Amino acid sequence: MFDIDISRILSLLTYDPTSPMIFSSGIFLFLFLGFSLIYCILHKADTARIIFVTLFSYYFYYKSSGIYFLLLAIVTISDFYIARAIAKALPTPAASPSAPVPGASPSGSSATVPDASPSGSYLKPRLLVALSLLIDLSLLAYFKYTNFFGSLIFHDWHNLDIFLPVGVSFFTFQSLSYTIDVYRGNIRPLDRLLDYAFYVSFFPQLVAGPIVRARDFIPQIRRPLLITNRMIGNGIFLIIAGLFKKAVISDYISVNFVERVFDQPTLYSGIENLLAVYGYTLQIYCDFSGYSDMAIGIALLLGFEFPKNFDNPYKSSSITEFWRRWHISLSSWLKDYLYISLGGNRHGKFRQYLNLIITMLLGGLWHGASLNFILWGGIHGIILAFDKMWHSLCPSLSPLPQKRKAATTPNASPSVTSSPAPVPDASPSGTPSSTHCPLSIKVISSLITFHIVASLWVLFRASTFQIASDVFTQIFTAFHPAVLGQWLSSYWPVALLMALGYTLHFLPSTWCNHTRRSVSQLPLPLQAILLVIVIWIVIQVKSSDVQPFIYFQF
Protein backbone atom coordinates (compact mmCIF):
# COMPACT_ATOMS: atom_id res chain seq x y z
CA MET A 1 0.00 0.00 0.00
CA PHE A 2 2.79 2.42 0.98
CA ASP A 3 5.96 2.46 -1.08
CA ILE A 4 8.54 3.05 1.66
CA ASP A 5 12.19 3.17 0.68
CA ILE A 6 13.83 1.55 3.71
CA SER A 7 17.35 2.04 2.36
CA ARG A 8 16.68 5.77 1.95
CA ILE A 9 15.44 6.03 5.53
CA LEU A 10 18.48 4.14 6.85
CA SER A 11 20.84 6.38 4.89
CA LEU A 12 19.20 9.43 6.48
CA LEU A 13 19.55 7.96 9.97
CA THR A 14 23.19 6.91 9.65
CA TYR A 15 26.26 9.13 9.73
CA ASP A 16 27.05 11.05 6.57
CA PRO A 17 30.41 12.91 6.74
CA THR A 18 29.26 15.31 4.01
CA SER A 19 26.06 16.26 5.86
CA PRO A 20 26.37 16.51 9.66
CA MET A 21 23.06 16.92 11.46
CA ILE A 22 22.44 20.51 12.55
CA PHE A 23 19.48 22.34 14.08
CA SER A 24 18.45 23.95 10.80
CA SER A 25 18.31 20.65 8.88
CA GLY A 26 15.07 18.86 8.05
CA ILE A 27 16.23 15.57 9.58
CA PHE A 28 16.79 17.22 12.94
CA LEU A 29 13.36 18.89 12.92
CA PHE A 30 11.76 15.52 12.11
CA LEU A 31 13.70 13.62 14.80
CA PHE A 32 13.11 16.35 17.38
CA LEU A 33 9.34 16.00 16.98
CA GLY A 34 9.58 12.28 17.81
CA PHE A 35 12.04 13.00 20.60
CA SER A 36 9.67 15.56 22.13
CA LEU A 37 6.76 13.11 22.22
CA ILE A 38 8.78 10.51 24.13
CA TYR A 39 10.27 13.23 26.36
CA CYS A 40 6.77 14.34 27.38
CA ILE A 41 5.76 10.76 28.14
CA LEU A 42 8.80 10.37 30.43
CA HIS A 43 8.43 13.75 32.16
CA LYS A 44 7.80 12.16 35.59
CA ALA A 45 10.29 9.30 35.23
CA ASP A 46 13.54 11.11 36.00
CA THR A 47 16.04 8.30 35.46
CA ALA A 48 14.33 6.97 32.33
CA ARG A 49 14.15 10.51 30.93
CA ILE A 50 17.84 11.13 31.66
CA ILE A 51 18.81 7.84 30.00
CA PHE A 52 16.67 8.65 26.97
CA VAL A 53 18.10 12.18 26.53
CA THR A 54 21.67 10.90 26.98
CA LEU A 55 21.18 8.22 24.33
CA PHE A 56 19.63 10.76 21.96
CA SER A 57 22.54 13.13 22.63
CA TYR A 58 25.05 10.42 21.76
CA TYR A 59 23.08 9.66 18.61
CA PHE A 60 23.06 13.38 17.77
CA TYR A 61 26.85 13.43 18.13
CA TYR A 62 27.13 10.23 16.08
CA LYS A 63 25.22 11.99 13.28
CA SER A 64 27.78 14.80 13.52
CA SER A 65 31.04 12.87 13.89
CA GLY A 66 30.40 9.17 13.38
CA ILE A 67 32.38 6.69 15.47
CA TYR A 68 34.08 9.56 17.30
CA PHE A 69 31.18 9.63 19.74
CA LEU A 70 33.51 7.24 21.60
CA LEU A 71 35.80 10.22 22.22
CA LEU A 72 32.96 11.90 24.09
CA ALA A 73 32.55 8.76 26.19
CA ILE A 74 36.28 8.62 27.02
CA VAL A 75 36.34 12.23 28.24
CA THR A 76 33.15 11.69 30.25
CA ILE A 77 34.24 8.50 32.02
CA SER A 78 37.79 9.62 32.77
CA ASP A 79 36.82 13.01 34.21
CA PHE A 80 33.92 11.54 36.23
CA TYR A 81 36.19 9.13 38.10
CA ILE A 82 39.10 11.59 38.33
CA ALA A 83 36.80 14.18 39.93
CA ARG A 84 35.64 11.62 42.50
CA ALA A 85 39.24 10.76 43.28
CA ILE A 86 40.10 14.45 43.63
CA ALA A 87 37.27 14.97 46.13
CA LYS A 88 38.44 12.03 48.22
CA ALA A 89 42.02 13.29 48.22
CA LEU A 90 41.18 16.87 49.22
CA PRO A 91 41.83 17.70 52.88
CA THR A 92 38.45 19.48 53.21
CA PRO A 93 35.01 18.47 51.92
CA ALA A 94 33.94 19.84 48.55
CA ALA A 95 30.87 22.02 48.26
CA SER A 96 27.44 21.15 47.01
CA PRO A 97 26.98 21.84 43.30
CA SER A 98 23.76 23.67 43.99
CA ALA A 99 25.14 26.15 46.50
CA PRO A 100 27.93 28.72 46.16
CA VAL A 101 31.08 28.41 48.18
CA PRO A 102 32.13 31.34 50.35
CA GLY A 103 34.77 33.22 48.42
CA ALA A 104 33.75 31.81 45.04
CA SER A 105 33.14 34.05 42.10
CA PRO A 106 29.59 34.43 40.78
CA SER A 107 30.43 32.44 37.70
CA GLY A 108 31.34 29.48 39.79
CA SER A 109 35.11 29.56 39.77
CA SER A 110 37.24 30.65 42.63
CA ALA A 111 39.81 33.25 41.77
CA THR A 112 42.55 31.17 43.35
CA VAL A 113 43.43 27.53 43.62
CA PRO A 114 44.11 25.99 47.01
CA ASP A 115 47.60 26.54 48.33
CA ALA A 116 49.67 23.51 49.09
CA SER A 117 50.22 22.91 52.78
CA PRO A 118 53.62 22.02 54.18
CA SER A 119 52.49 18.42 54.52
CA GLY A 120 51.82 18.24 50.79
CA SER A 121 48.12 17.44 51.31
CA TYR A 122 47.30 18.99 47.93
CA LEU A 123 49.91 17.03 46.00
CA LYS A 124 47.65 14.12 45.09
CA PRO A 125 44.67 16.32 44.07
CA ARG A 126 47.00 18.41 41.92
CA LEU A 127 48.38 15.32 40.25
CA LEU A 128 44.84 14.15 39.54
CA VAL A 129 43.92 17.53 38.03
CA ALA A 130 47.08 17.27 35.92
CA LEU A 131 45.92 13.80 34.79
CA SER A 132 42.55 15.23 33.72
CA LEU A 133 44.33 18.01 31.82
CA LEU A 134 46.69 15.49 30.23
CA ILE A 135 43.90 13.21 29.01
CA ASP A 136 41.60 15.94 27.71
CA LEU A 137 44.23 18.20 26.20
CA SER A 138 46.15 15.27 24.68
CA LEU A 139 43.04 14.16 22.83
CA LEU A 140 42.38 17.73 21.75
CA ALA A 141 46.00 18.23 20.70
CA TYR A 142 46.10 15.03 18.64
CA PHE A 143 42.95 15.66 16.66
CA LYS A 144 43.39 19.41 16.26
CA TYR A 145 47.09 20.28 16.36
CA THR A 146 49.17 17.27 15.23
CA ASN A 147 49.59 18.44 11.65
CA PHE A 148 50.03 22.08 12.64
CA PHE A 149 52.89 21.51 15.08
CA GLY A 150 54.32 18.72 12.94
CA SER A 151 54.67 21.11 10.00
CA LEU A 152 56.29 23.73 12.24
CA ILE A 153 58.83 21.30 13.70
CA PHE A 154 59.64 19.08 10.70
CA HIS A 155 60.39 20.53 7.26
CA ASP A 156 59.44 17.32 5.44
CA TRP A 157 56.26 16.74 7.44
CA HIS A 158 53.42 15.08 5.51
CA ASN A 159 50.02 15.87 6.96
CA LEU A 160 48.29 12.90 8.53
CA ASP A 161 44.70 12.14 7.57
CA ILE A 162 43.18 13.07 10.94
CA PHE A 163 39.45 13.67 11.24
CA LEU A 164 38.48 16.58 13.50
CA PRO A 165 35.42 15.55 15.56
CA VAL A 166 32.76 18.26 15.65
CA GLY A 167 32.81 20.43 18.76
CA VAL A 168 35.69 18.58 20.43
CA SER A 169 37.01 21.86 21.88
CA PHE A 170 33.68 22.63 23.52
CA PHE A 171 33.00 19.41 25.39
CA THR A 172 36.63 19.00 26.49
CA PHE A 173 36.62 22.52 27.97
CA GLN A 174 33.27 21.89 29.64
CA SER A 175 34.48 18.63 31.17
CA LEU A 176 37.78 20.20 32.27
CA SER A 177 35.95 22.96 34.13
CA TYR A 178 34.17 20.27 36.16
CA THR A 179 37.34 18.59 37.45
CA ILE A 180 38.99 21.96 38.15
CA ASP A 181 35.93 23.19 40.05
CA VAL A 182 35.91 20.01 42.15
CA TYR A 183 39.58 20.61 42.94
CA ARG A 184 38.91 24.23 43.87
CA GLY A 185 36.11 23.17 46.18
CA ASN A 186 33.39 24.95 44.23
CA ILE A 187 31.28 21.84 43.62
CA ARG A 188 30.92 18.34 44.97
CA PRO A 189 31.43 15.53 42.42
CA LEU A 190 28.38 13.67 41.17
CA ASP A 191 27.61 10.20 42.46
CA ARG A 192 26.06 8.93 39.23
CA LEU A 193 28.01 8.49 36.01
CA LEU A 194 24.67 8.76 34.17
CA ASP A 195 24.11 12.29 35.45
CA TYR A 196 27.58 13.39 34.41
CA ALA A 197 27.16 11.81 30.96
CA PHE A 198 23.88 13.73 30.66
CA TYR A 199 25.63 16.99 31.58
CA VAL A 200 28.57 16.61 29.17
CA SER A 201 26.57 15.26 26.22
CA PHE A 202 23.36 17.33 26.47
CA PHE A 203 22.75 17.79 22.75
CA PRO A 204 21.55 21.42 22.49
CA GLN A 205 24.99 22.77 23.46
CA LEU A 206 27.17 19.74 22.73
CA VAL A 207 28.85 20.69 19.46
CA ALA A 208 29.10 24.50 19.58
CA GLY A 209 28.33 25.68 23.08
CA PRO A 210 27.54 27.65 25.05
CA ILE A 211 30.03 26.12 27.49
CA VAL A 212 27.74 25.47 30.45
CA ARG A 213 29.25 25.30 33.94
CA ALA A 214 28.54 22.28 36.12
CA ARG A 215 27.33 24.39 39.04
CA ASP A 216 24.73 26.02 36.75
CA PHE A 217 23.52 22.85 35.04
CA ILE A 218 23.85 19.94 37.47
CA PRO A 219 21.24 21.22 39.97
CA GLN A 220 18.70 21.20 37.11
CA ILE A 221 19.19 17.52 36.21
CA ARG A 222 17.26 15.84 39.03
CA ARG A 223 14.84 18.59 39.97
CA PRO A 224 11.17 17.97 39.07
CA LEU A 225 10.67 18.78 35.42
CA LEU A 226 8.76 22.05 35.13
CA ILE A 227 8.31 23.75 31.76
CA THR A 228 6.40 27.00 32.18
CA ASN A 229 4.54 28.96 29.51
CA ARG A 230 7.25 31.61 29.80
CA MET A 231 9.95 29.02 29.02
CA ILE A 232 7.99 27.67 26.05
CA GLY A 233 7.34 31.17 24.68
CA ASN A 234 10.93 32.31 25.11
CA GLY A 235 12.21 29.03 23.70
CA ILE A 236 10.12 29.30 20.54
CA PHE A 237 11.12 32.94 20.08
CA LEU A 238 14.82 32.08 20.39
CA ILE A 239 14.47 29.18 17.93
CA ILE A 240 12.71 31.47 15.42
CA ALA A 241 15.33 34.21 15.87
CA GLY A 242 18.26 31.79 15.68
CA LEU A 243 16.89 29.98 12.63
CA PHE A 244 16.34 33.29 10.81
CA LYS A 245 19.81 34.60 11.67
CA LYS A 246 21.56 31.39 10.66
CA ALA A 247 19.64 29.97 7.72
CA VAL A 248 18.39 33.20 6.14
CA ILE A 249 20.91 35.99 6.79
CA SER A 250 24.19 34.17 7.48
CA ASP A 251 23.94 31.36 4.93
CA TYR A 252 22.64 33.56 2.12
CA ILE A 253 25.25 36.31 2.30
CA SER A 254 27.96 33.68 2.77
CA VAL A 255 27.14 31.50 -0.23
CA ASN A 256 26.15 34.33 -2.55
CA PHE A 257 28.88 36.86 -1.81
CA VAL A 258 31.35 36.45 1.05
CA GLU A 259 32.76 33.07 -0.03
CA ARG A 260 33.34 34.31 -3.57
CA VAL A 261 35.40 37.29 -2.46
CA PHE A 262 37.45 35.44 0.15
CA ASP A 263 38.20 32.64 -2.32
CA GLN A 264 39.81 35.09 -4.79
CA PRO A 265 39.96 38.62 -3.37
CA THR A 266 42.18 39.95 -6.19
CA LEU A 267 39.32 39.47 -8.66
CA TYR A 268 37.24 42.04 -6.81
CA SER A 269 37.69 45.76 -6.21
CA GLY A 270 38.62 47.21 -2.84
CA ILE A 271 35.08 48.32 -2.07
CA GLU A 272 33.78 44.81 -2.79
CA ASN A 273 36.44 43.39 -0.49
CA LEU A 274 35.41 45.88 2.21
CA LEU A 275 31.75 44.93 1.78
CA ALA A 276 32.78 41.26 2.05
CA VAL A 277 34.54 42.06 5.33
CA TYR A 278 31.35 43.73 6.59
CA GLY A 279 29.43 40.72 5.28
CA TYR A 280 31.59 38.21 7.11
CA THR A 281 31.43 40.30 10.27
CA LEU A 282 27.65 39.97 10.14
CA GLN A 283 27.77 36.36 8.93
CA ILE A 284 29.85 35.00 11.79
CA TYR A 285 27.70 36.82 14.35
CA CYS A 286 24.42 35.58 12.85
CA ASP A 287 25.82 32.08 12.43
CA PHE A 288 27.21 31.63 15.93
CA SER A 289 24.64 33.65 17.88
CA GLY A 290 21.96 31.93 15.80
CA TYR A 291 23.24 28.54 16.97
CA SER A 292 23.39 29.78 20.57
CA ASP A 293 19.84 31.12 20.34
CA MET A 294 18.55 27.79 19.04
CA ALA A 295 20.53 25.84 21.64
CA ILE A 296 19.18 27.99 24.48
CA GLY A 297 15.67 27.84 23.01
CA ILE A 298 15.67 24.04 22.63
CA ALA A 299 17.01 23.67 26.18
CA LEU A 300 14.15 25.88 27.47
CA LEU A 301 11.60 23.64 25.72
CA LEU A 302 13.17 20.72 27.61
CA GLY A 303 13.05 22.55 30.96
CA PHE A 304 16.69 23.67 31.20
CA GLU A 305 18.04 27.21 31.35
CA PHE A 306 21.37 28.23 29.80
CA PRO A 307 23.18 31.54 30.31
CA LYS A 308 23.19 34.14 27.55
CA ASN A 309 26.08 33.70 25.14
CA PHE A 310 25.86 36.92 23.06
CA ASP A 311 24.86 40.45 24.03
CA ASN A 312 24.86 42.66 20.90
CA PRO A 313 28.68 42.58 20.66
CA TYR A 314 29.03 45.10 17.82
CA LYS A 315 27.56 47.80 20.03
CA SER A 316 30.75 47.67 22.10
CA SER A 317 32.80 50.82 22.59
CA SER A 318 36.06 48.96 23.33
CA ILE A 319 37.66 45.59 22.66
CA THR A 320 37.33 44.80 26.35
CA GLU A 321 33.59 45.38 26.18
CA PHE A 322 33.42 43.36 22.96
CA TRP A 323 34.80 40.31 24.76
CA ARG A 324 32.26 40.82 27.53
CA ARG A 325 29.51 40.60 24.91
CA TRP A 326 30.94 38.05 22.41
CA HIS A 327 30.88 34.30 23.13
CA ILE A 328 30.41 35.04 26.82
CA SER A 329 30.73 31.42 27.94
CA LEU A 330 34.19 31.06 26.35
CA SER A 331 35.35 34.50 27.54
CA SER A 332 34.40 33.69 31.12
CA TRP A 333 35.98 30.22 30.81
CA LEU A 334 39.27 31.72 29.67
CA LYS A 335 39.04 34.24 32.50
CA ASP A 336 38.34 31.73 35.27
CA TYR A 337 40.55 28.83 34.20
CA LEU A 338 43.40 30.46 32.31
CA TYR A 339 43.78 34.19 33.02
CA ILE A 340 43.28 33.87 36.78
CA SER A 341 45.41 30.70 36.91
CA LEU A 342 48.22 32.68 35.26
CA GLY A 343 47.97 35.20 38.10
CA GLY A 344 45.38 37.68 36.84
CA ASN A 345 46.48 41.12 38.01
CA ARG A 346 47.85 39.97 41.33
CA HIS A 347 51.49 40.58 40.36
CA GLY A 348 51.44 44.09 38.99
CA LYS A 349 50.38 45.83 35.80
CA PHE A 350 53.02 44.34 33.52
CA ARG A 351 52.06 40.78 34.52
CA GLN A 352 48.39 41.63 34.08
CA TYR A 353 48.97 42.84 30.52
CA LEU A 354 51.19 39.85 29.77
CA ASN A 355 48.55 37.47 31.17
CA LEU A 356 45.90 39.09 28.96
CA ILE A 357 48.06 38.63 25.86
CA ILE A 358 48.90 35.00 26.72
CA THR A 359 45.24 34.24 27.41
CA MET A 360 44.13 35.63 24.07
CA LEU A 361 47.01 33.96 22.19
CA LEU A 362 45.88 30.61 23.57
CA GLY A 363 42.28 31.59 22.89
CA GLY A 364 43.24 32.16 19.27
CA LEU A 365 44.98 28.78 19.13
CA TRP A 366 41.85 27.18 20.63
CA HIS A 367 39.91 28.43 17.63
CA GLY A 368 42.16 26.73 15.12
CA ALA A 369 45.56 25.29 14.28
CA SER A 370 46.77 28.17 12.16
CA LEU A 371 49.12 31.12 12.46
CA ASN A 372 46.18 33.29 11.36
CA PHE A 373 44.24 32.34 14.49
CA ILE A 374 47.28 32.86 16.73
CA LEU A 375 47.87 36.29 15.22
CA TRP A 376 44.15 37.09 15.55
CA GLY A 377 44.21 36.18 19.24
CA GLY A 378 47.52 37.91 19.90
CA ILE A 379 46.37 41.23 18.41
CA HIS A 380 43.17 41.04 20.46
CA GLY A 381 45.32 40.44 23.55
CA ILE A 382 47.54 43.45 22.81
CA ILE A 383 44.51 45.70 22.33
CA LEU A 384 42.96 44.37 25.55
CA ALA A 385 46.16 45.25 27.39
CA PHE A 386 46.14 48.72 25.81
CA ASP A 387 42.49 49.14 26.90
CA LYS A 388 43.40 48.34 30.49
CA MET A 389 46.38 50.69 30.38
CA TRP A 390 44.36 53.56 28.88
CA HIS A 391 41.58 52.99 31.40
CA SER A 392 44.01 53.22 34.31
CA LEU A 393 45.73 56.34 32.95
CA CYS A 394 42.66 58.25 31.69
CA PRO A 395 39.51 56.76 33.22
CA SER A 396 37.36 59.79 32.35
CA LEU A 397 38.19 59.41 28.63
CA SER A 398 38.00 55.64 28.53
CA PRO A 399 34.88 53.95 27.12
CA LEU A 400 35.43 51.04 29.52
CA PRO A 401 32.71 50.65 32.17
CA GLN A 402 33.71 51.56 35.70
CA LYS A 403 34.10 48.52 37.91
CA ARG A 404 31.67 47.90 40.73
CA LYS A 405 32.91 48.54 44.20
CA ALA A 406 33.89 45.55 46.27
CA ALA A 407 31.26 46.56 48.84
CA THR A 408 28.54 45.29 46.53
CA THR A 409 29.74 41.74 47.14
CA PRO A 410 30.38 41.58 50.88
CA ASN A 411 30.93 37.83 50.91
CA ALA A 412 33.58 37.85 48.23
CA SER A 413 37.10 37.09 49.26
CA PRO A 414 39.88 39.63 48.61
CA SER A 415 41.36 37.35 45.99
CA VAL A 416 38.17 37.55 43.96
CA THR A 417 37.68 41.30 44.07
CA SER A 418 41.34 41.99 43.35
CA SER A 419 41.50 39.80 40.24
CA PRO A 420 39.59 41.46 37.43
CA ALA A 421 38.81 39.40 34.39
CA PRO A 422 39.84 40.17 30.83
CA VAL A 423 36.29 41.53 30.55
CA PRO A 424 34.89 44.29 32.77
CA ASP A 425 32.18 43.92 35.36
CA ALA A 426 28.61 44.23 34.21
CA SER A 427 25.39 45.01 35.94
CA PRO A 428 22.79 42.24 36.33
CA SER A 429 21.00 43.51 33.25
CA GLY A 430 24.09 42.90 31.15
CA THR A 431 24.84 46.60 30.60
CA PRO A 432 27.91 48.44 31.85
CA SER A 433 27.57 49.38 35.49
CA SER A 434 28.57 53.00 34.97
CA THR A 435 30.75 55.22 32.84
CA HIS A 436 31.81 58.85 32.82
CA CYS A 437 32.87 58.88 29.17
CA PRO A 438 31.21 61.60 27.01
CA LEU A 439 28.69 60.33 24.45
CA SER A 440 30.72 61.64 21.51
CA ILE A 441 33.77 59.67 22.61
CA LYS A 442 31.63 56.54 23.06
CA VAL A 443 30.25 56.87 19.52
CA ILE A 444 33.73 57.36 18.03
CA SER A 445 35.07 54.51 20.18
CA SER A 446 32.24 52.24 19.01
CA LEU A 447 33.01 52.95 15.35
CA ILE A 448 36.73 52.34 15.89
CA THR A 449 36.06 49.16 17.86
CA PHE A 450 33.71 47.81 15.20
CA HIS A 451 36.27 48.33 12.44
CA ILE A 452 39.08 46.81 14.52
CA VAL A 453 36.94 43.73 15.15
CA ALA A 454 35.86 43.55 11.49
CA SER A 455 39.47 43.90 10.29
CA LEU A 456 40.63 41.12 12.58
CA TRP A 457 37.82 38.85 11.32
CA VAL A 458 39.74 38.88 8.01
CA LEU A 459 42.52 36.87 9.69
CA PHE A 460 39.86 34.59 11.19
CA ARG A 461 38.12 33.97 7.84
CA ALA A 462 41.02 33.85 5.38
CA SER A 463 42.29 30.34 4.65
CA THR A 464 45.87 31.62 4.36
CA PHE A 465 47.79 34.69 5.40
CA GLN A 466 48.22 35.53 1.70
CA ILE A 467 44.44 35.68 1.26
CA ALA A 468 44.17 38.05 4.22
CA SER A 469 46.97 40.18 2.79
CA ASP A 470 45.22 40.31 -0.60
CA VAL A 471 41.98 41.50 1.01
CA PHE A 472 43.72 44.41 2.74
CA THR A 473 45.80 45.21 -0.35
CA GLN A 474 42.69 45.49 -2.50
CA ILE A 475 40.94 47.70 0.07
CA PHE A 476 43.85 50.13 0.37
CA THR A 477 45.17 50.16 -3.21
CA ALA A 478 42.24 49.35 -5.53
CA PHE A 479 39.18 50.73 -3.75
CA HIS A 480 37.22 51.97 -6.84
CA PRO A 481 34.11 53.39 -5.09
CA ALA A 482 32.33 53.74 -8.47
CA VAL A 483 31.81 49.96 -8.39
CA LEU A 484 29.32 50.38 -5.53
CA GLY A 485 26.40 51.06 -7.87
CA GLN A 486 27.15 47.92 -9.88
CA TRP A 487 27.41 45.89 -6.70
CA LEU A 488 24.06 47.14 -5.41
CA SER A 489 22.47 46.27 -8.74
CA SER A 490 24.00 42.78 -8.93
CA TYR A 491 23.88 41.84 -5.27
CA TRP A 492 20.75 43.65 -4.09
CA PRO A 493 19.43 40.63 -2.10
CA VAL A 494 22.77 40.42 -0.26
CA ALA A 495 22.74 44.18 0.35
CA LEU A 496 19.16 43.98 1.63
CA LEU A 497 19.94 41.15 4.07
CA MET A 498 23.10 42.86 5.29
CA ALA A 499 21.15 46.07 5.92
CA LEU A 500 18.44 44.10 7.71
CA GLY A 501 20.94 42.17 9.82
CA TYR A 502 22.84 45.22 10.99
CA THR A 503 19.63 47.17 11.61
CA LEU A 504 18.25 44.39 13.81
CA HIS A 505 21.55 44.17 15.66
CA PHE A 506 21.78 47.89 16.42
CA LEU A 507 18.15 48.36 17.43
CA PRO A 508 17.72 49.49 21.06
CA SER A 509 17.68 46.57 23.48
CA THR A 510 14.30 47.71 24.80
CA TRP A 511 12.78 47.16 21.33
CA CYS A 512 14.25 43.67 21.13
CA ASN A 513 13.03 42.78 24.61
CA HIS A 514 9.55 44.06 23.79
CA THR A 515 9.46 41.94 20.63
CA ARG A 516 10.60 38.87 22.56
CA ARG A 517 7.92 39.38 25.21
CA SER A 518 5.25 39.94 22.56
CA VAL A 519 6.12 36.75 20.69
CA SER A 520 6.51 34.68 23.86
CA GLN A 521 3.07 35.79 25.08
CA LEU A 522 1.27 34.80 21.88
CA PRO A 523 -0.97 31.71 22.01
CA LEU A 524 0.92 28.53 21.16
CA PRO A 525 -0.88 28.05 17.78
CA LEU A 526 0.23 31.52 16.65
CA GLN A 527 3.79 30.81 17.78
CA ALA A 528 3.68 27.59 15.75
CA ILE A 529 2.47 29.55 12.70
CA LEU A 530 5.36 32.00 13.11
CA LEU A 531 7.81 29.11 13.25
CA VAL A 532 6.30 27.56 10.11
CA ILE A 533 6.57 30.91 8.31
CA VAL A 534 10.27 31.20 9.20
CA ILE A 535 10.87 27.60 8.06
CA TRP A 536 9.12 28.44 4.77
CA ILE A 537 11.35 31.51 4.35
CA VAL A 538 14.41 29.35 5.04
CA ILE A 539 13.33 26.89 2.33
CA GLN A 540 12.88 29.74 -0.15
CA VAL A 541 16.32 31.32 0.35
CA LYS A 542 18.53 28.40 1.36
CA SER A 543 21.27 27.09 -0.89
CA SER A 544 21.22 23.58 -2.32
CA ASP A 545 23.28 22.24 0.58
CA VAL A 546 22.80 22.79 4.30
CA GLN A 547 25.63 25.06 5.50
CA PRO A 548 27.38 23.78 8.65
CA PHE A 549 27.77 26.18 11.54
CA ILE A 550 31.10 28.02 11.43
CA TYR A 551 32.01 26.98 14.96
CA PHE A 552 31.59 23.27 14.18
CA GLN A 553 35.24 23.35 13.06
CA PHE A 554 36.35 24.38 16.55
Please tell me the chain's helix, strand, coil percentages from 3-state DSSP, rounded to the nearest 5.
65, 0, 30
What does the CA dihedral 474, 476, 482, 485 come to, rounded to 10 degrees?
70
Number of other residues whose CB lies within 10 A of the CB of residue 266: 12
**Alpha-carbon span 30 to 28, nearest angstrom:** 5
**Residues 6 or more apart whose Cβ sits within 8 Å of residue 492:** none
**Residues 6 or more apart whose Cβ sits within 8 Å of residue 352:** 344, 345, 385, 388
**Alpha-carbon span 220 to 387, nearest angstrom:** 38
**Alpha-carbon span 112 to 99, nearest angstrom:** 18
Find the catalytic residue in 43, 158, 347, 367.
367
**Alpha-carbon span 190 to 97, nearest angstrom:** 9
What is the reported pTM? Answer: 0.84
**Alpha-carbon span 502 to 314, nearest angstrom:** 9
Active site residue 480: no
CA atoms within 13 A on the CB side of 333: 27
| Sign of the alpha-carbon dihedral angle for 327, 328, 334, 339 | positive
Residue 426 φ then ψ, to 5° = -130, 155
Burial 517-531 (b: 16+ CB within 10 A, else e): eebbeeeeeebeeeb
Q: Where are the domains of the chain?
A: 15-155+162-225, 229-315+462-554, 318-436
| Cα angle, residue 327 at apex, residues 532 and 406 outer, rounded to 5° | 125
Q: What is the H or E stretch that residue 234 is in?
A: helix 229-243
**Alpha-carbon span 339 to 357, nearest angstrom:** 9
Residue 9 φ then ψ, to 5° = -65, -45
| Sign of the alpha-carbon dihedral angle for 189, 195, 201, 202 | negative
**Residues 6 or more apart whose Cβ sits within 8 Å of residue 539:** none
**Alpha-carbon span 139 to 229, nearest angstrom:** 42
The amino acid at 357: I
Cα 362 to chain centroid distance, Å, stands at 16
pLDDT one digit per residue (tens) for the chain, 554 residues: 456 667 766 777 787 777 777 776 778 888 888 899 999 999 888 899 999 999 999 999 998 888 989 999 999 999 999 999 999 998 865 444 444 443 334 343 444 445 444 445 778 899 999 999 999 999 999 998 998 888 888 888 888 888 888 888 889 999 999 999 999 989 999 999 999 999 999 999 887 778 898 988 999 998 888 888 888 889 999 998 998 999 889 999 999 999 999 999 999 999 999 999 999 999 999 999 998 999 999 999 999 999 899 999 999 999 999 999 999 999 999 999 999 888 888 888 888 899 999 999 999 998 888 889 999 999 999 999 998 888 777 766 666 655 544 333 333 333 333 333 344 333 333 444 444 566 777 889 999 999 999 999 999 999 899 999 999 999 999 999 999 999 999 999 999 999 999 999 999 888 888 888 888 888 888 888 888 888 777 777 765 565 666 666 65
**Alpha-carbon span 449 to 326, nearest angstrom:** 13
